[in-house]
A and B are shown apart, each in its own frame.
Chain A
Amino acid sequence: MRDDVEGKPLVEVRNLKMYFPIYKGILRRQVGQVKAVDDVSFTVHEGETLGLVGESGCGKSTCGRAILRLYDPTDGSVILDGTDIASLNTDDLRQMRTDMQMIFQDPQASLNPKMTVERIISEPLIEHRKGMSAKERSDRVGELMDAVGLNRTFANRYPHEFSGGQRQRIGIARALALSPRFIVCDEPIAALDVSIQAQVVNLLEDLQQKMGLTYLFISHDLSMVRHLATRVAVMYLGQIMELAPSGQLYSDPKHPYTKALLSAVPEPDPREESRRDRIILQGDVPSPANPPTGCNFCTRCPVAQPLCHQVSPDWREIEPGRFVSCHFAE
């Protein structure tokens, strides 16, 4: 079972905060800040897939980007293999970039339309493997195209000549070019059709096994995360509400938000659907520029108590490996 995979920690995120300032008026004075990621801590073990789920605007993508330092985090540290990425200077950071890569949601937007596939995939090699000859590079591109299931003869084509699923494969090949150890997958299948999603997910799993990759898999698709992830973290309004091994999170969610989120996912089975007891959350997610006092979820929580509106709950381990941020979860 993949649930039992317990590698050593590869990435440690500690108290990560990513605030974006809000400027207003003609003097562009700062009037507040959007707390996109607000004090998030977790560990990604070597060889595992950590699923990061949540609704749009909860900060999951920002979190992924801040971890790779595509943003400069406001506070906190991200330790990859003993080195704190969050405070590294640019030269050292550049060296580290080969170990960590990203696969983006929209392959249309993340591939340069004016470059051939060969050029797109060799871009990281040109940048980071200066000693490589042109011949070696082209061999490596061929290898990568094989690995992701693209026909080598298409190397001179442009992104628009490919379908969505194939374009995502190009993005994956580019991310693999430098043999990274850690890949942040930011909604890699969200833009694809159902029948193509399974192809890409299977590919990601195969590559993980072959190359020993570690994934942070960001998605809003809870069923797909259940299939892929070893452990799952649930985010809401910039904070992680619950983190648990995948099997336990889905069979026995502890946080009221996780319960509501899981109950909202429609199941492709009419008998199951008519039996289900749905928790319908009232209202919308509050603005991250103005989160409620106390627990972030208190405004929509069906079981909120007076305490929840006053005191923000601690991030606590209620069972070995199970973390919850709720006063009343047990």
Chain B
Amino acid sequence: MRDEIAPLLDVVDLHTVFQTRGGDVHAVNSVSFSVAPGELLGVVGESGSGKSVTMMSLMGLLPSSARVEAQAVNFEGRNIRDMSDDALRVLRGRDVGFVFQDPMTSLNPVFTVGYQLTEALRTHLGKSKKEARARAAEMLSLVGIPDAKARLNDYPHQFSGGMRQRVMIAMALACDPKLLIADEPTTALDVTIQAQILELVKGLRQKMGMGIVWITHDLGVVAGIADRVMVMYGGQIVEQAPVKELFANPQHPYTIALLETLPSLTGERPERLRSIDGQPPILGAKLTSCPFAARCRQVMDRCHRENPTRREVKAGHDVACWWDATQGGAA
């Protein structure tokens, strides 16, 4: 059972509010989740659903205009929220690896890839220059970059998009992290390159056994690699389930609609795509209704009055909705 293993990351009741000139924006609302060691958690949502902000909030990577509150954010049982800045720095550098969407903006264009790779190794693992270089070359060949030793002397612009993303992954994994946070790592890449990276991550996961949080808007990517999926909408988690269960038995009207709007490569070609009418909500105020109510096909009176809390559908599968998909009525 999942509950018997102590989670690697455990988040309880996270709220993030941005203070802007136009007023507060409640980007993350009461988000709770956990990641087990070695597990790959897929986080799915549209832009503005709060998926990236959630992860940034946890690691203290947001600008000072963001107010982050949480009951607890535990990493291996230690509360991150109580940590000093120095301790947090060590945690971010050594125990947690990050891969961001656009490798060109996350790599420094004026330093060689080798320098950027060895920097973390020397700072966080205290390796000598020589050891660090050897390890860096090893990491580059691990992520499938040919002629790794020579390429350490190259600058980021000398790599192609897919290769740069491999460099980012190598960098994130260099210190052997326990948790890897990958924020839309393949979104900027072509499908054939994306397929290469997904294969790579599947292989690395088996070799290194770290927990992974994979943020994406692509349900197809999630279907191929995740163990468990969390669907976010309007700054909250609307549904969470093991991957097979989620796709076979979606409960939230948003998840159901999302799966229906996607055209497929195989099977029937529908005359029209099912579309989700309307726009995602603007999170100006704390929500007092369900964020999806305005676009929901199953909307009821209660949805406009009360924001639903998460209820368990079956073990490991929960949904935040007043409507019961199995019975087709109010839950």
Q: Give chain A's interface residues, CB within 8 Å of chain B.
A: 55-56, 163, 165, 193-199, 201-202, 205, 220, 222-224, 226-227, 247, 250, 260-273, 278, 280-281, 284
Contact = CB atoms under 8 A, between A and B. Distances in A.
Contact of A269 (B160, B194, B247, B269): B247
A199 B161 CA distance: 31
A261 B192 contact: yes
Contacts of B257: 195
A36 to B, nearest CB: 17
Nearest to A273: B224
B196 interface: yes
Contacts of A226: 263-265, 269
21 contacts: A55-B191, A56-B161, A194-B219, A195-B257, A201-B273, A202-B273, A202-B275, A223-B263, A223-B265, A224-B263, A227-B270, A261-B191, A265-B265, A266-B195, A267-B224, A267-B266, A268-B222, A268-B223, A269-B223, A272-B266, A280-B199
Given A266-B220, A273-B220, 17 more contacts: A193-B280, A202-B275, A222-B191, A227-B269, A260-B192, A261-B191, A266-B218, A267-B224, A268-B259, A268-B262, A269-B247, A270-B243, A270-B244, A271-B244, A273-B223, A273-B224, A278-B199
B198 interface: yes
Interface in B42-68: 46-47
Nearest to A166: B279
A266 B190 contact: no
B314 interface: no
B263 A227 contact: yes
A220 B192 CA distance: 11
B83 interface: no
Interface of B: 46-47, 160-163, 190-196, 198-199, 217-224, 243-244, 247-248, 257-259, 261-266, 269-270, 272-277, 279-280, 295
A111 to B, nearest CB: 18
B261 A195 contact: yes
* Best-surrounded residue of A56, A268, A281 (most CB of chain B within 10 A): A268
A305 to B, nearest CB: 21
* Best-surrounded residue of A55, A196, A264, A269 (most CB of chain B within 10 A): A269
A198 B160 contact: no
Contacts, number: 125
A195 B219 contact: no
Contacts of B276: 195-196, 198-199
B223 A270 contact: yes
* Best-surrounded residue of B263, B269, B272 (most CB of chain A within 10 A): B263
Nearest to B262: A268
B1 to A, nearest CB: 21
Nearest to A247: B269
Given A193-B217, A266-B223, A273-B224, A198 B195 contact: no
A195 B257 CA distance: 8
B272 A197 contact: no
A227 B195 CA distance: 22
B206 to A, nearest CB: 15
Contacts of B219: 194, 268
Given A195-B261, A199-B275, A281 B269 contact: no
A165 B295 CA distance: 15
B261 A250 contact: no
Nearest to A55: B190
Contacts of A224: 263
A165 B277 CA distance: 11
Contacts of B217: 193-194
B273 A220 contact: no
Contact of B220 (A250, A263, A267): A267
B147 to A, nearest CB: 12
Contacts of B194: 264, 266
A262 to B, nearest CB: 7
B191 A199 contact: no
Contact of B46 (A193, A262, A273): A193
Nearest to A284: B160
A201 B263 CA distance: 11
Contacts of A267: 220, 223-224, 264-266
A270 B220 CA distance: 8
A223 B274 CA distance: 14
A185 to B, nearest CB: 16
A97 B192 CA distance: 36
